Structure 1
Amino acid sequence: MAIKLENVGIAVRDLEATIAFFTDLGLTVVGRDTVSGEWTDTAVGLDGNHARIAMLQTPDGRGRLELFEYIHPEAIETTPTLPNEIGMHRVAFSVDDIDKALETAAKHGCFPLRGVATYEDVYKLTYVRGPSGIIVMLAEELKKTDG
Structure 2
Amino acid sequence: MGNVGIAVRDLDQAIAFFTDLGLTVAGRAEVSGEWADTAVGLDGNHARIAVLNTPDGHGQLEFFEYLHPDAIETEPALPHEIGMHRVSFVVDDIDAALAIAARHDCHPLRGVATYEDVYKLTYLRGPSGILVMFAQELR
- TM-score category, normalised to shorter length: over 0.9
Partner-residue secondary structure (3-state), 1:66: strand
Task: State which of 116, 119, 123 in structure 2 corresponds to 1:120.
Answer: 116
Match of 1:45 in 2: 41
TM value normalised by structure 1 = 0.93
Q: Offset of 1:88 from its aligned partner?
A: 0.5
Give the structure 2 partner of residue 8 of structure 1: 4
Superposition pairs of residues 136-147 of structure 1, within 5 angstroms: 136-143=132-139
Aligned-pair identity in percent equals 77
Which residue of structure 1 aligns with residue 76 of structure 2? 80
What residue in structure 1 maps to residue 88 of structure 2?
92
Task: Tell me the distance in 1 between the aligned counterparts of 2:88 and 2:48.
Answer: 24
- For these two proteins, the number of residue pairs brought into alignment is 139
Q: 5+ residue gaps in structure 2?
A: none
* Letter paired with 1:134: I
Match of residue 21 from structure 2:
25
Question: Offset at 1:45?
Answer: 0.6
Shift of 1:102: 0.2
Find the aligned partners of 1:99 and 1:63 in 2 and give their Cα distance: 23
Runs of 5+ consecutive residues of structure 1 not aligned to the other structure: none
Measured on the aligned residues, the alpha-carbon RMSD in Å equals: 0.5
- Aligned equivalents of 1:52, 1:8: Cα separation in 2: 16
Q: Which has more radius of gyration?
A: 1
TM-score when scaled to structure 2? Answer: 0.99
After superposing on structure 2, the runs of 4+ consecutive aligned residues of structure 1 that deviate more than 2 Å are: none
Aligned counterparts of 2:18 and 2:11: Cα–Cα separation in 1: 11
Please give the alpha-carbon distance, in whole angstroms, between the structure 2 residues aligned to 1:105 and 1:16.
15
